[in-house]
Each structure stands twice: as structure tokens, then as C-alpha cells.
Copies of this chain bind each other. A is one copy, B any other.
């Protein structure tokens, strides 16, 4: 074998990724695939039978299986790939059918455009061959970039359209239909607006990561995505594999925890509006999702596990109630009396009442929540109705006070 570094077989221009992949295969004699940043398959070498389960799965579904992606993240392989210029060896991971591999990121300046994966046979690749992959990656760069450019141009059009949908610019459903047709988009049968709020502006880099998460989650099908300062908005449908009712709850939990785990981006809040059939309700769904976020900010404990507008319950009305309360400068006399009593006797009657009602007037549950004996609570409730002269047995009166209590907290802090 020649001691010199072999001359670069990739220093020519390739017509497309397929041609490049075949060329890599010829040089390394191993199965090769090229994926984009979202692990979508764009080209793979054929004419070989020495391959593994993960690769077959990828080729069949045009995409790297979720299980494999998760594992690669968990093992820290993807982050390492993203940071390295050179090709890396990835030891086999038996239980997901991944044999020994070599991979390298395709990059343009600092931006990752995709990955080249090579399945190693029994004869391992030599270092010179790994170096060759670097050249292959360089050769892939313009091809991948072209791919992204096309996508980006389309995206810009989408973004405008998307905003117009969300802000109710379109007056008729027909108009929206036409626009969908123009942009060559499939109109979803039903859709939901999801929104996420971050603690900081969303950078270009974060945007990549989150769009990566969305496409790989396999929980929802995303139709539109837009980033606006510190807010991320999606129009999506549940993924067919998911139970529709929970798909979005699941996705939001998934998204928030993965943003934290994978990217250390904390304090993300998410919510979604009602699902509608006709896309002209996009504005409504968006406003609903925004309202959930707004209320979650004001009532973090109460709405900790609420993401869907439908589950807002009374909090759906908290803003108007609070506004009315302010306008009328009304304070429920019972609340005023209890507050005074609490201050004078260093007691906790107001909080007790709130917890009691919130626990559906169940003495035992409420007592547990308050860390007191059931009879203590019993006694307190008796005192509360005496001091505030309220009849807790009257549902309407009880709930009225509950609303007042909550509305007071609307702009606490």
C-alpha cells in the first residue's frame, strides 16, 4: 500500500447526494447513509448486504428510528459528533441493533447540516480512511446546503402565512384554502396551536435544537412553526400513533423535559388551545394557548399540571373576575373579616378556607394538605363560617368566595 496520504477522491463536484454516497461506498467498502440534522435520510448506498437492524429501520422509514436517536443522545454521541470536526467511532449498542460505526458531521462554518454514517464490517477502517471521511463531509456540504436553501425559501413564505393565520388576517376560509394551495401545503383535517414560552429570547441555535426535538418526538405532526422573541408557536396535529387526547400533554411534557435534559434550557412553559377543524380558527386556538400561559404565570401552583385550555376551569375567567373586582372596589366582607382575624390572632383561616374548597370540601384531604388533624380542620371550618357568617353548605355562596379568593391572587407579587 502506498505510504502517502491517498489523493482526495472527493475533490470533484457531485451531482447529488446519491452519487456521493456511492463514491464513499466505493472507497470504504462499507454501507453508508447521509442524514440531515433531523435524522431524516437523504441518501444511502445500495449493493451490499452486510448491514444491521438500525440501518434497515432507517432506510425503510426514511428516518432514523426514535429509539436509536434517544439512545445516541443518552450516550452523549450526538453532542460529541456535533462538536467534532473529525470522524468518530461509535461502539456497537447491541439492544438497539446498532453495530460498530463511524460517523462524521457535515458542517458549513459552525452550522451542522447533517451526518454521514458508515457501518463497519468485521474489518475495521483504518485512520487514513477516517480522514477520507472528512473530505467526504466537505464534499457533502454544498449538496446539503442547497437542500436547506430550498427549504428556507419555502419557510420564509410559510412564516408570513403562519403569522397571518395566527393574527386572523384572513377573513374567509376560502382565502386560506387558496393560500394553502398556492404554497403547495396539505391542509390538516384538524389542528391545534401550541405555544412555548422561554425565559430568554430564542437564539438561532436554540431554534435548531427545538425544531430538532419537535420532528424527532414522534408525538405530534407539526404543520407550522414560528419563533417570536421568547415564544415558540406551533400548529400541529396529534401523531397517528398517539392517543389524540393525550398527545399534546405528552408532547409538552416531553418537550420541556428534553429541553432541560439535552440542552439545559430550563423554565420553559408550554400550553395549547382547543383543536379545531377549520383552519380559520387558528387565531382563536392561539389566543387560548396564550391565555393558558398567562394564567400559568399567575397561578403556578394551581395550574402546574394544566396545559390545555379546556382544563383551565375557573381560571379561564380569572382575568374578567379580577377586573370586575377592581372596578367595583369590592371585597367580600367574609374575606375581610377573616383576614383581620388572621392578622390579630396569627392564624390561617383564609388559607384554610381556600384549601378546603379547593379539596372539594373534603375534610380529610384538606386536613392532609394543611398538615393538621381532621378535627382541627373541622373546628376551623366551623369558626370560619361563624366569623365570616358564610354558609359553606350553600354551593353558590361557597364558590363565590372561592372565586373571590382566587381573583385576589391574580396580581399578587
Contacts and interface: CB of A to CB of B under 8 A. Distances in A.
Interface stretch (A33-41, A57-65, A102-110, A356-364): A356-364
A171 to B, nearest CB: 16
Contact of A399 (B320, B391, B394, B402): B402
Contacts of A393: 360
Interface in A325-377: 332-334, 357-361
Interface stretch (A14-22, A156-164, A306-314): A306-314
Contact of A359 (B274, B334, B395): B395
B360 A313 contact: no
A317 interface: yes
Nearest to A390: B310
A223 interface: no
A153 B360 CA distance: 58
A149 interface: no
B310 A333 contact: yes
A203 to B, nearest CB: 35
A141 B35 CA distance: 95
A245 interface: yes
A323 to B, nearest CB: 8
Interface centre among A315, A357, A400 (most CB of B within 10 A): A400
Contact of A395 (B332, B360, B396): B360
Contacts of A310: 332-334, 389
- The residue among A315, A324, A360, A395 with the most chain B CB atoms within 10 A of its own CB is A395
A245 B398 contact: no
Nearest to A302: B396
Most B-side CB within 10 Å, residue of A274, A314, A401: A314
A202 interface: no
Contacts of A401: 313
Contacts of A313: 394-401
A405 interface: no
Contacts of A323: 320
A315 B274 contact: no
A400 B317 contact: yes
A400 B316 contact: yes
A247 interface: no
Contacts of A357: 395
Contact of A317 (B324, B360, B394, B395): B324
A324 B323 CA distance: 12
Contacts of A86: none
A213 interface: no
A145 interface: no
Contacts of A394: 311, 313
Contact of A400 (B274, B312, B361, B396): B312
B397 A311 contact: yes
A88 interface: no
A389 B358 contact: no
A397 to B, nearest CB: 4
A320 B274 CA distance: 23
A101 to B, nearest CB: 34
A314 B396 contact: yes
> Which of the listed residues A361, A396, A403 has the most CB atoms from chain B within 10 Å of its own CB?
A396
A227 interface: no
A389 B274 CA distance: 13
10 contacts: A310-B333, A311-B391, A311-B394, A313-B399, A313-B401, A317-B324, A317-B403, A320-B321, A320-B324, A360-B395
Interface of A: 245, 274, 302, 310-317, 320-321, 323-324, 332-334, 357-361, 389, 391, 393-403
